Amino acid sequence: MINHKNITMKYININRKVTTLLFILMTFSTSLNAQWNIPKEAKNSIPPVEATYKTVEEGKILFQKNCISCHGIPGKGENNKAINATDLGTESYQLKHSVGEVFYQFNTGMGAMPSFKNRFSEEEKWHIAFYVKSFDDNFKISGEKIKTLNTNLKMSTDDSDKTIKVTATVTDNNGNINAAANAKINFYVKRIFGNMPVSEDIKTNEDGIAVFKFPDDIPGDKEGKIKIIAGFEDADRYGKNTETAEVTWGKALHFENPNLKRALWGSNKRVPVWLLITYLSVTLGVWAVIFYVAFQITRIKNAGK
Amino acid sequence: MSEGKNNVSKKTLNTIVSDLTRPIKNHYGFTPWILFLTGIILLGLFAYIIQLKNGLGVTAMRDYVSWGLYISSFIFFIATALIGMLISAVLGLIGIKWITPISRIAEMIALGFAMWAGLIIIFDMGRPDRILNIFMHGRLQSPIVWDITVVNTYVVISILLFLLPLIPDIPFLKKTMKDQPKWKQKIYNLLSFGFAGRPEQYALIKRLIRITAILIVPVALAIHTVTSWLFASTLRVGWDSTIFGPYYVTGAFVTGGAAVVIAMFVFSRDFRLKNYITDFHFDKMGRLMVLLMLVYLYFNINEFLVPGYKMKLAEKPHLYELFQGDFALMFWLVQIGGLTLPIILLLFKKMRRPVPSLVIAVAVIIGAFFKRYIITIPTLLHPHLPIQNVPEEFSTYWPTPIEWSITMMAVAGALLIITILAKLFPVIPIWETAYEEGITTEEMNEFVKREND
Q: What confidence score (pLDDT) does residue B11 get?
A: 77
Q: Determine, yes or no, domain membership for A14.
A: yes
Integer Cα distance of B153 and B155 in angstroms? 5
Lowest mean pLDDT among A276-285, A292-301, B140-149, B176-185: B176-185
Q: Give contacts of B235 with chain A, Cβ < 8 Å.
A: none
Sequence-ordered alpha helix ranges (H) in B387-439 = 401-424, 430-436
> Closest Cα to residue B379, out of B248, B234, B252, B250?
B234
Determine the distance in angstroms separating the CA of A265 from the nearest CA of chain B, rounded to an integer. Answer: 7
pLDDT at B252 over 90: yes
Taking CB atoms and an 8 Å limit, are A297 and B164 in contact across chains? yes
pLDDT bracket for residue A11 (50, 70, 90)? low
> Closest Cα to residue A8, out of A112, A78, A102?
A78
Last residue of some domain: A247, A270, A296? A247
CB-based contact B226:B75 (threshold 8 Å) = no
DSSP, collapsed to helix, strand or coil, labels residue A229 as strand
Taking CB atoms and an 8 Å limit, are A303 and B201 in contact across chains? yes
pLDDT at A2 over 80: no
CB-based contact B283:B354 (threshold 8 Å) = no
Contacts 24+ apart (CB under 8 A), B31-34: B33/B419, B34/B416, B34/B419
Integer Cα distance of B371 and B76 in angstroms? 9
A302 Cβ under 8 Å from any chain B Cβ: yes
| Percent with pLDDT over 90 in chain A | 46
Residues A54 and A16 in one domain: no
CB-based contact B191:B166 (threshold 8 Å) = yes
Residues A49 and A116 in one domain: yes
User: Which domains are delineated in chain B?
Assistant: 3-452 (1.20.1630.10)
CB-based contact A111:A48 (threshold 8 Å) = no
Taking CB atoms and an 8 Å limit, are B211 and A289 in contact across chains? yes
Last residue of some domain: A247, A268, A285? A247
A46 Cβ under 8 Å from any chain B Cβ: no
pLDDT bracket for residue A77 (50, 70, 90)? confident
Determine the residue of chain A that is closest to B210 in CA distance: A293
Q: What confidence score (pLDDT) does residue B5 get?
A: 43
Most confident of B39-53, B185-199, B314-328: B39-53
Q: Give contacts of B221 with chain A, Cβ < 8 Å.
A: none
In tens, the pLDDT along A132-177 reads 999 998 888 888 877 888 899 999 999 999 999 999 999 988 888 9
In tens, the pLDDT along B367-394 reads 999 999 999 999 999 998 888 888 888 8
Residues A48 and A126 in one domain: yes
Integer Cα distance of B204 and B200 in angstroms? 6
Report the alpha-carbon angle B63-B69-B70, nearest 5: 95
Across B323-348, b (16+ Cβ under 10 Å) vs e yields eeeebeebbeebbeebbbebbebbee
Determine the distance in angstroms separating the CA of B197 from the nearest CA of chain A, rounded to an integer. Answer: 10
φ/ψ bin of B240: left (φ > 0), alpha (ψ from -120 to 50), beta (otherwise): beta
What CATH number does the domain containing A79 carry? 1.10.760.10
Please state the length of chain B: 453
Q: What is the CA radius of gyration of chain A?
A: 32
Residues A226 and A284 in one domain: no
Q: What confidence score (pLDDT) does residue B12 get?
A: 87
Q: What confidence score (pLDDT) does residue A12 get?
A: 55
Q: What confidence score (pLDDT) does residue B449 get?
A: 84
Integer Cα distance of B301 and B330 in angstroms? 17
DSSP, collapsed to helix, strand or coil, labels residue A169 as strand
A32 Cβ under 8 Å from any chain B Cβ: no
Taking CB atoms and an 8 Å limit, are B215 and A299 in contact across chains? no
A274 Cβ under 8 Å from any chain B Cβ: no
What CATH number does the domain containing A208 carry? 2.60.40
SS3 content of chain B, % helix, strand, coil (to 5): 75, 0, 25
Q: Which of A24, A286, A287 to mutate to test the interface with B (most CBs of B within 10 A)?
A: A286
The one-letter amino acid at A274 = W
Taking CB atoms and an 8 Å limit, are A264 and B141 in contact across chains? yes
Q: Determine, yes or no, domain membership for A253.
A: no
Residues A173 and A236 in one domain: yes
Q: Give contacts of B157 with chain A, Cβ < 8 Å.
A: 286, 290
In tens, the pLDDT along B329-341 reads 999 999 999 999 9
For residue A37, what is the DSSP state?
Answer: -
Integer Cα distance of B191 and B430 in angstroms? 16
| Percent with pLDDT over 70 in chain B | 97
A278 Cβ under 8 Å from any chain B Cβ: no
Integer Cα distance of B61 and B247 in angstroms? 26
Cβ contacts of B341 within 8 Å, gap of 6 or more: B363
Taking CB atoms and an 8 Å limit, are A304 and B163 in contact across chains? no
The total number of structural domains that make up chain A: 4
Determine the residue of chain A that is closest to B156 in CA distance: A290
The helix (H) or strand (E) run that includes residue A209 is: strand A209-213
In tens, the pLDDT along B437-452 reads 889 988 898 888 875 5
Cα separation values, B96 from B89, B92, B149, Å: 10, 6, 31
The helix (H) or strand (E) run that includes residue A190 is: strand A184-191
In tens, the pLDDT along A190-205 reads 988 888 999 988 999 9
Residues A298 and A235 in one domain: no
Determine the distance in angstroms separating the CA of B291 from the nearest CA of chain A, rounded to an integer. Answer: 30
Q: What confidence score (pLDDT) does residue A25 get?
A: 56
Lowest mean pLDDT among A13-22, B171-180, B421-430: A13-22
If you count residue pairs, one on A and one on B, with CB atoms under 8 Å apart, how many are there? 71
pLDDT bracket for residue B3 (50, 70, 90)? very low
Q: What confidence score (pLDDT) does residue A45 get?
A: 84
CB-based contact B135:A265 (threshold 8 Å) = no
Cross-chain CB nearest to A303 (options B156, B164, B198):
B198
Q: Determine, yes or no, domain membership for A221.
A: yes
Taking CB atoms and an 8 Å limit, are B156 and A296 in contact across chains? no
Q: Give contacts of B193 with chain A, Cβ < 8 Å.
A: 297-298, 300-301
Q: Give contacts of A289 with chain B, Cβ < 8 Å.
A: 211, 215
Phi, psi dihedral angles at A31 (to 5 degrees): -70, 135
Determine the residue of chain A that is closest to B207 in CA distance: A293
CB atoms within 10 A of CB A181: 14
Taking CB atoms and an 8 Å limit, are B140 and A283 in contact across chains? no
Q: Give contacts of A265 with chain B, Cβ < 8 Å.
A: 141
Q: What confidence score (pLDDT) does residue B296 get?
A: 97
Taking CB atoms and an 8 Å limit, are A290 and B208 in contact across chains? no
Cα separation values, A289 from A279, A284, B160, B203, B213, Å: 16, 9, 11, 18, 11
DSSP, collapsed to helix, strand or coil, labels residue B241 as coil
A293 Cβ under 8 Å from any chain B Cβ: yes
Residue range B198-204: mean pLDDT, rounded: 94
pLDDT at B24 over 90: no
pLDDT bracket for residue A233 (50, 70, 90)? confident
In tens, the pLDDT along B54-109 reads 999 999 999 999 999 999 999 999 999 999 889 989 999 999 999 999 999 999 99
* Averaged confidence pLDDT in chain A: 86
Integer Cα distance of B208 and A214 in angstroms? 80
pLDDT at A288 over 60: yes
Q: Give contacts of B208 with chain A, Cβ < 8 Å.
A: 293, 296-297
Q: What confidence score (pLDDT) does residue A40 get?
A: 87
Q: Determine, yes or no, domain membership for A142.
A: no
A300 Cβ under 8 Å from any chain B Cβ: yes
The helix (H) or strand (E) run that includes residue B291 is: helix B279-310
| Percent with pLDDT over 70 in chain A | 89
Cβ contacts of B411 within 8 Å, gap of 6 or more: B40, B116
Range of the domain at A26: 1-31
Residues in chain B whose beta carbon is closer than 8 A to a beta carbon of chain A?
A: 137-141, 146, 149, 153, 156-157, 160, 163-164, 167, 193-195, 198-201, 203-205, 208, 211-212, 215, 219
Determine the distance in angstroms separating the CA of B162 from the nearest CA of chain A, rounded to an integer. Answer: 13
pLDDT bracket for residue A304 (50, 70, 90)? confident
Q: What confidence score (pLDDT) does residue B448 get?
A: 87
Q: Determine, yes or no, domain membership for A146.
A: no
Cross-chain CB nearest to A300 (options B137, B156, B195):
B195
Q: Give contacts of B215 with chain A, Cβ < 8 Å.
A: 286, 289-290, 293
Cβ contacts of A107 within 8 Å, gap of 6 or more: A115, A116, A117, A125
Cα separation values, B390 from B69, B395, B396, Å: 22, 8, 11
The ipTM is 0.91
Residues A115 and A59 in one domain: yes
pLDDT bracket for residue A17 (50, 70, 90)? low
CB-based contact B354:B302 (threshold 8 Å) = no
Q: Give contacts of A264 with chain B, Cβ < 8 Å.
A: 141
The helix (H) or strand (E) run that includes residue B372 is: helix B354-380
In tens, the pLDDT along A95-144 reads 999 999 999 999 999 888 999 999 899 999 999 999 999 999 888 888 88
Residues A45 and A27 in one domain: no
The one-letter amino acid at B150 = V
Determine the residue of chain B that is closest to A301 in CA distance: B194
pLDDT bracket for residue B7 (50, 70, 90)? very low
pTM higher than the cut 0.90: no
Q: Determine, yes or no, domain membership for A139.
A: no
Integer Cα distance of B157 and B214 in angstroms? 11
Q: Which of A270, A290, A298, A299 to mutate to test the interface with B (most CBs of B within 10 A)?
A: A290
Phi, psi dihedral angles at A159 (to 5 degrees): -65, -30
Phi, psi dihedral angles at B375 (to 5 degrees): -70, -35
